[in-house]
Amino acid sequence: MQIGSAVLYVIDLPAMTRFYGDVFGLTPIAGEHADVWQEFEAGAFRLGLHQIPREVPDVEKTRARLEALGVKILARPWGSCDVVDPEGNIFGLSQSSA
């Protein structure tokens, strides 16, 4: 069996893109959706980094409600926040455009 690709779900896509490019020397592949996805050429293997934000109508209101419920919140300097579920999985919240 050969595995031709893998996807890592990441919190900070720009930082992880720099890490895998600079530290491992992987070649980024230009593509659409660069705000949530980066793919790398690694010989016969491809590595994808994927950040999955959850869109909500009002990030601040949702953050306050979740914090009141005791949910761990990671505030980000760019104005969004990430939520940590009981198993330690992290997902981002982003303001919906609607």
The residue extents of the domains of the chain are 5-50, 53-95
Q: Look up the CATH architecture of domain 5-50.
A: Roll (3.10)
pLDDT at 36 > cutoff 90? no
pLDDT band at residue 78 under the 50/70/90 scheme: low
DSSP letter assigned to residue 1 = -
What CATH class does 53-95 carry?
A: alpha beta
pTM (two decimals)? 0.53
pLDDT at site 29: 92
Is the pLDDT at 74 greater than 70? The verdict is yes
Give, in order, the Cα–Cα distances in Å from 70 to each of 20, 64, 65, 66, 97: 34, 10, 9, 7, 27
- Of 19 and 33, the structure prediction assigns the larger pLDDT to 19
| Positions of E strands within the chain | 5-9, 27-29, 37-42, 45-50, 53-56, 72-75, 81-84, 90-95
